[in-house]
Structure formats: structure tokens, C-alpha cells
Amino acid sequence: MSWFSKFLTSSIGQKIVMALTGIFLTLFLAIHLLGNLQLLQNDDGEAFNTYAYFMTSNPLIKTVSYLLYASILVHAVQGILLARQNRAARGANRYAVSHMRSSERASRNMAWLGIIIFVFIVLHMYQFWFQMHWGGLEMITYPGSTHPVKDLYTLVEESYESPLFVVFYVLSMIVVGYHLWHGFWSSFQTLGLNHKKYTPLIKWIGAAYSILIPLLFAIIPLVMHFRG
Ligand code: HEM
């Protein structure tokens, strides 16, 4: 076994992979949010559809997307493996469950929250991403543009007409918020970025990020639903 595969299968190696993929996914969320906020413009979807066209046709962004899909899978599989290892380690000590440390409880909760988010991502990608790439969306050519773009906006708008989808999105964003809250802090700890002076600031930024990003995501379906 090479030193690299030894590192990747070691406990600390697995945690570092979780932290790095987690940070990448956290950054993706901010970019994804900025793009999605264009759904709130009152322009019949021109800004959003033009943005979605750019995101699916630019070769550099396409390459980063493959990294994104791989990160989601690696983060999910690794997270489940780590949670199972933690459980097995606890099982070795029969007193451990009742004396479970709060960090162990948090990691067990993270696994459950992660599984819910993974289910959300699969349904969400089927609903929008799959339709954007392989569905039969209508094409629109906006005035001043030379090429037609897919009308993803109307699909999103029609989806959020259903109160069920709005509730599903809002509840999922609460789960994302909890997962981010712990994940943000835990990835800094794993990477050893502990500093007497900066740690409280990092914790504060993590908390603000975990509230603000899911909150803004949740506002999108709510606004689109109620503005009709
Ligand atoms: C109100 C909230 C959200 C809306 C309106 C939304 C909308 C969309 C749309 C329209 C797409 C398809 C874009 C395309 O293929 O060009 C998409 C893709 C995607 N979304 Fe979301 N999204 C939301 C929240 C989230 C959250 C919270 C996550 C992760 C936890 C997420 C993960 C993804 C992923 C991984 C993709 C595929 C990315 C790609 O290939 O570019 N989304 N989303």
C-alpha cells in the first residue's frame, strides 16, 4: 500500500478528506445561492436562464461541476464510514453509549443530518439539474441575444407553486443549517486551525454563515410561491 492510500484510509486521513470536501461544498453553496437569487428578479427569468446557460456551457465550470459531484459522493460515503467506525468503537465498550461524549453525539447527529441532505440533493438534482440537462425544456431567445437558452426558470416557478415542495425546501434548509453549523467548526478543528485569538471569530463566522445561507435559500421558494 502506498503512503498516500495508507494516509487516505487512516483515521486522520479520512477526517481530512471530510474537512476538505466539506469546505469545498460549503463554498459551492454560496456560489449556488448567488446564482439562484436571480430567480427573484422580476424579468420573467431572463437573468436566471442566461446564468444557467452560462453555468452549463462554460468548459471550466463544467470541469468544476465534476469535482463537485465527486466531492458530494466522497463526503457522503466517507461520513457514513466514519460514523460506523465510531459506533463500532463505542460497541467495544458497553458503558460507552450511556457515557457518550458530546463530540460523539454530534458526529452521530451529523451522519443522520448528512443522510437527509443527501436524499434532498438526489431529489433536488432530479427535479432541476436532470431536467436542465436531459429534460425537454422550452427554448427562449431573449432580445439582444444571438442564441436560444433553456427555460429552466419556468420549471422552478411551476415547482414552487406546490406548497408541498416549498415546505420540503424550507425544512431541508433547516437541516442544511444544522449540518453546516457543526461541520464548519469541525473542519477547522480537523485541519488544526486552532488559534487563541482567531478561533472565536471563526466560530462566529461559521454560525453566521450557517444561518444566513440556508435562510436566503429558504426565502427563494417562499417568495416564488407567494408572489404567484
Ligand atoms: C431554494 C433553494 C435552491 C434552489 C432554488 C436551487 C436550484 C437549483 C437549480 C435550478 C439547479 C439546476 C442548475 C443547472 O443544472 O444549471 C440546481 C442544481 C444543483 N443544486 Fe440546487 N438549489 C437550491 C438549493 C440547493 C442546496 C441547499 C443544495 C445542497 C445542499 C443544492 C445542491 C445542488 C447541486 C449539487 C446541483 C447540481 C449542480 C450543478 O451541476 O451545477 N441546491 N439547483
Terminal Cα distance for the chain, rounded: 59
Q: d(Cα 90, Cα 113) in Å, to the nearest integer?
A: 20
CATH classification of the domain holding 166: 1.20.1300.10
User: What is the domain extent for residue 148?
Assistant: 3-227
Q: d(Cα 170, Cα 222) in Å, to the nearest integer?
A: 8
The sign of the dihedral angle between the CA atoms of 127, 133, 137, 143 is positive
Q: d(Cα 47, Cα 137) in Å, to the nearest integer?
A: 17
Residue 71 scores a pLDDT above 70: yes
Q: d(Cα 108, Cα 82) in Å, to the nearest integer?
A: 9
Q: What is the pLDDT of residues 98-135, one digit of tens each?
A: 556 666 677 778 999 999 999 999 999 999 999 999 98
Give the position, in ligand 1's atom list, of the atom nearest the Cα of 61. Answer: 41
Give the Å distance between the CA of 104 and the centre of ligand 1: 31
pTM value > 0.95: no
Give the Å distance between the CA of 75 and the centre of ligand 1: 17
Report which protein residue has its CA nearest ligand 1's atom 16: 52
CA distances from 140 to 157, 175, 185 (A): 16, 36, 44
Count how many domains the chain has.
1
Q: What is the pLDDT of residues 144-189, one digit of tens each?
A: 888 999 999 999 999 999 999 999 999 999 999 999 999 998 898 8
